[in-house]
Each structure stands twice: as structure tokens, then as C-alpha cells.
Amino acid sequence: MAEHPGTKPFTEASNTRAAADTPAVHTFDALIIGAGFSGLYQLHTLREQLGMRVRVLEQGGGIGGTWYWNRYPGARCDSESYYYCYSFDKRIEQEWTWSERYPGHAEIRQYLDFVARRLDLLRDVQLDTKVVGAQYDDDAGIWTVDTEGGERFRAPFLITAVGCLSTANVPAIPGLDRFAGQWYHTGQWPHEGVDFTGKRVGQIGTGSTGIQVAPVIAEQATHLTVFQRTANYSIPARNRPVTAQEIRLTRDNYEDIWRRARSGANGHPFTIADRSVHDVPADERQRIFEEAWERGGLRFRASFRDILVDKGANDITSDFLRAKIRAVVKDPEMAETLTPRDHGFATKRPPIDTGYFETFNRDNVRLVDLKAEPIVEITERGLRTTRREYPLDILVFATGFDALTGPLLKLNITGSGGRRLSDDWSAGPRTYLGLQTPGFPNLFTITGPGSPSVLCNMPIAIEQHVDWITACIGDMRAQGLTRIEAERDAADGWVRHVNDAANATLLPQASSSWYLGANVPGKPRVFMPYAGGFARYAGICDEVAGDGYRGFARS
């Protein structure tokens, strides 16, 4: 795939290293790590609203964050395009036109490139720059950031904009190094694409990604074997081109769309119906579900208000979806293997699909139930389970991410007094509002653990965080303050609140969920995102700021 234009690495004279063993040091008012949706908007606000000198350090060779890396065939956002975008700039909102109901990965990169050019962002973005360490100097009140290339950056404020799903989880299956074919993780997909023609392909993983990629591979490959550990629910996406009338209507109504998105639980502009699954007679309920199924997409779960909080309501919903799998998949044994029985609908991240279950009616597709025959090893020729060896030319890992904490811990962050973030989070992330961690002054995290993040339509969650951080730094500068740090009591209270919010839903009951870190062996089992709802969360953040940044020590 061709790289999109306008994303050449930042270069300037001062960027070259002064001498082989003396890193060049570049000083800024703020450093941002990551040039996806969050890093780009954070750059814009700090520069334009506060007049700060900012540098964005980006590991990739282009902007786009998650969408720079996730280029696997079928990669598409499951928020609808008209609201998977920024809301802060009327001009951008009115000029950009999405082509499909759900934006594909290439179109999202084109959109971000359009935004970056419109706002002249690229001059402050340094590409191909991987951060390998960040240390806080208490005496100087300065963060020092080191890069793999040996450069050093210093600034009083450090903002991580590294995304929630950016550290690929490649399971440690013995034998991968001796596999004679090619293997790929979907989150690190080659830019030139992968040609599956004439190949026997194995795919491990049936989360949102696996469900998107399998139908596309099956169409191209000679044969596809899907290795499934946990069966998943999926709602048809019903993707299609956007009509001229929809574009007009959206543009005319953006104010209302954003107002609704911000006042809801998940940053989506659709409202969750104010009725219980138990309130309506069975035939009426069936009609409502069928209608939602036909409409497709994430808004299926908005059909009733109690799908995620009432076990009985969730069981009824899950049964409807299980029946759909049986209705689509012709082989009853295969249908049963594809039917989730161990968790309720949407207690794990609910995928949406284009022809996923239909894929299993194809002659060239096989399903392997890893619960019945676990993986033993990868061999030179393919993959061996406890039952047999499956010969493969290509192995695709759709095995997800070390979500939320992974991208942050990879940065090797050391805070006040030399404390390491990895030590402080050894039993799970401990943040205040998901924005700051005690012991790490002037370090802000956009959509960090403890904030609504992945439970939301991300651009809405990102804008709320960036606006809050920008206002917070602006307020400090106005008052002549230089240091802000979350107080330990405030963080402890917030961690309790995050747990309570999760426990008020059915979400923690899905024991294999990446929300809990369960997909990464050895990761602490803690429910990481804030499940109390976006609007409620944003209200708390505003209240904290309005109350003199309650829970933050500022000096």
C-alpha cells in the first residue's frame, strides 16, 4: 500500500546528533508521544490555544496511530464514519466527506492526513522516532525522553497519546521461529499487503479483528483454517456507501450529533432505548431485536437499557444472537462450536462483521476448536494441536493487544524519586481519572486506564481528555504553577470507583476479556476502563477542575 502524502519525517539541523556518544538534546514546552487522533489534537490545542512549543514523537513512518499499523484486509472502524472524526473544527467537519458507513483503515489515514495539512500539524511531528525511556527530574521539574535513535528531548510536560490497542500480543507458542511459511500479526500488517492467492492460511483469534479479516482471507486463499479459542457474538455491520442525502443531513445536524454523543454513555450519538428487555412481550421483543439486527452495527445493544446490567436481560439477548448463528451456519456441529456459551453478549467487546458466520459455509474454510484440541506447537510445516498437524503456508495472528497498559509500560517511564511505572502498576493500573498517576508529576495520559476510553467512540473520549489537559496546563500557566501531581488518596478513591462502576455492570463477568487483561498471560486481572459512562465521567472531570483541580497537588 502506498504511503499517504505529507507524512515525511520531521528533520531539522538540531535533530542530528552532535557526537556519537553525546545525544543531541532538544528542549520544548511539552512533548507528546504518538501521532494518532489524540496526539494530533493535543498538538493543535497546546500550540494554538496556549502558544506552546511542542514536539510529537511518533514511532511509525506516518501519522495515524492505530490506523497506521492496522492495515489488514477488512480493517475498518466499528464506529460509524460520520461520528468517528473530530468535532472541534467546523471547517474540517463540513469539508470532509466519508465514503462508507464505517470508515476503512486507508480512508481514516486520508482523513487524518487532511486534518494534519489543514492545521499545519506535520511541522511539529517527528516520525520514525521510537521512545525507549522517559525520566522525571525532580530538581529541574523536567521530563527527559530518550529515543531508540539516541536523541534526547526535554520538557516540563509529557503527554502520552499512545492509544489503547497498539502493543501487539503475539502469543508465545513454541516453534514459531522454525515455521517455514510467513506469519503476520494483524496489528503490524505489511504496507505492501499480503497475497493469499494459492495459499493455505491459518488464522488464530476470533475477536473483532479475526471476525473482520477471516471473510476476506477466505475469498482469496486456497484454504483458511480458523483456530478459535473463544466463540464470539457478532452483529452484521451492514456496511454500504454513504448517500448524498445522508452527507447533507449529517452536515446540517452536526451540532446536535455531537451534543447527543457527549451526553450519552459511550460517545455514540444514538440513544439507548429507555425500556427493559423484561418490559415487552416476547413477540414484540423479537421484532425489536430483528429490526436492530437488520439495521446492524454497535447500536444493536442500544435496543434495551438493561442488556449490560441485568443477567436475565443479557441471557435473552444472547439467546437471540445464538439463534442467528444457528440460522446462518449450515453445519450444525460447526454452528455449535461457533456459539458463545461462556459469556454474555457485549460483556466482551462486541464485534460487527461483514459475512463472518457465512464464511464457515464455504468449502475452503475449516474451524478448529482450540478448547477441544489446544495448540501444542508451531512446526516447520504448520501448526500442531493435541489432535493433529495442520499444514500452512501463512499464519495470521489476530490475537489482539496488550491493551491499555501495554503501550504505556513499554515506554519505560520513571517518575519522581526514580519510581518506575511498571512497579507502581504491578498489580494493575492506579490512576486518578485515568489522566494522571501519583508519583509521576506533569505526566498526562490521553484515554488511559481508568477513563472510559475503549468503551467509547474514541474521538469523543480523546477530545474530552485533550480539552481537559489543555485547560489544566493553561490554568497552571495562568497561575504561575509548574507542577501537578495526582494525590495518592484521590487515585485510591478513583480506583475503587472504577471497580464499583465495572461491578455495577456484567462486564467483569467475561473472564476471557481483554478489558480485564485476561488475554495476556501473567497480566494482572483488573477491569481497566471506566464503565460508569462517558457523560458521567466528563461531568466528574469538569467538577474536579472547577473545584480547583481537587485531588491534584499543584505548586
Q: Which of 167, 303, 359, 399 binds ligand NA7 (CB under 6 A)?
A: 399
What are 527's three cell numbers? 477491569
Minimum distance of ligand NA7 from residue 375's CB (angstroms)? 6
Q: Does 104 bind ligand NA7 (CB under 6 A)?
A: no
* Of 134-142, 200-208, 387-395, 408-416: span binding ligand NA7 (CB under 6 A): 200-208
In a 3-state reduction of DSSP, which class is residue 330?
A: coil
Q: Closest residue to ligand NA7, Cβ-based?
A: 207
- The smaller minimum CB distance to ligand NA7, of residues 37 and 514, is found at 514
317 vs 319: CA distance, rounded Å? 5
Place of cell 480458523: 226
Minimum distance of ligand NA7 from residue 517's CB (angstroms)? 11
In a 3-state reduction of DSSP, which class is residue 385?
A: strand
493 vs 339: CA distance, rounded Å? 39
* Of 299-307, 328-336, 418-426, 511-519: span binding ligand NA7 (CB under 6 A): 511-519
Q: Which of 26, 199, 223, 349 binds ligand NA7 (CB under 6 A)?
A: 349
- The smaller minimum CB distance to ligand NA7, of residues 70 and 314, is found at 70
469 vs 97: CA distance, rounded Å? 29
List the interface residues with ligand NA7, window 144-183 (CB under 6 A).
165, 171
- The smaller minimum CB distance to ligand NA7, of residues 386 and 512, is found at 512
292 vs 136: CA distance, rounded Å? 51
- Kindly give, in sequence order, each residue whose CB lies less than 8 Å from that of residue 468, ignoring residues fewer than 6 positions away: 435, 541, 542, 545
91 vs 554: CA distance, rounded Å? 37
Minimum distance of ligand NA7 from residue 438's CB (angstroms)? 28
Minimum distance of ligand NA7 from residue 208's CB (angstroms)? 4
What are 397's three cell numbers? 495472528
Q: Return the bridge partners of 365, or none.
A: 224
- The smaller minimum CB distance to ligand NA7, of residues 204 and 544, is found at 204
* Of 135-143, 202-210, 294-302, 533-541: span binding ligand NA7 (CB under 6 A): 202-210
Q: Which of 382, 400, 415, 441 binds ligand NA7 (CB under 6 A)?
A: 400
**Burial class of residue 358, CB neighbours in 10 A (0-12, 13-18, 19+):** middle
List the interface residues with ligand NA7, window 29-58 (CB under 6 A).
none
What are 543's three cell numbers? 467538577
Please state the separation of Cα 280 from the chain's center in Å: 35
The DSSP code sequence of 427-461 is TS---BTTTB-TT-TTEEETT-TTSSGGGS-HHHH
The DSSP code sequence of 75-130 is -B-SS-GGGSS--S-HHHHHH----BSS-BHHHHHHHHHHHHHHTT-GGGEE-S--
- Per-residue mark of binding to ligand NA7, 456-495 (x: CB under 6 A): ----------------------------------------
- The smaller minimum CB distance to ligand NA7, of residues 462 and 472, is found at 462
Distances in Å between the Cα of 502 and the Cα atoms of 125, 436, 452, 515 are 37, 20, 11, 10
- Per-residue mark of binding to ligand NA7, 352-391 (x: CB under 6 A): ------------------x----x----------------
Q: Which of 103, 104, 202, 210 binds ligand NA7 (CB under 6 A)?
A: 210
Q: Which of 33, 46, 204, 307 binds ligand NA7 (CB under 6 A)?
A: 204
Contact positions toward ligand NA7, by CB under 6 A? Answer: 165, 171, 204-210, 229-230, 349, 370, 375, 398-401, 454, 512, 514, 519
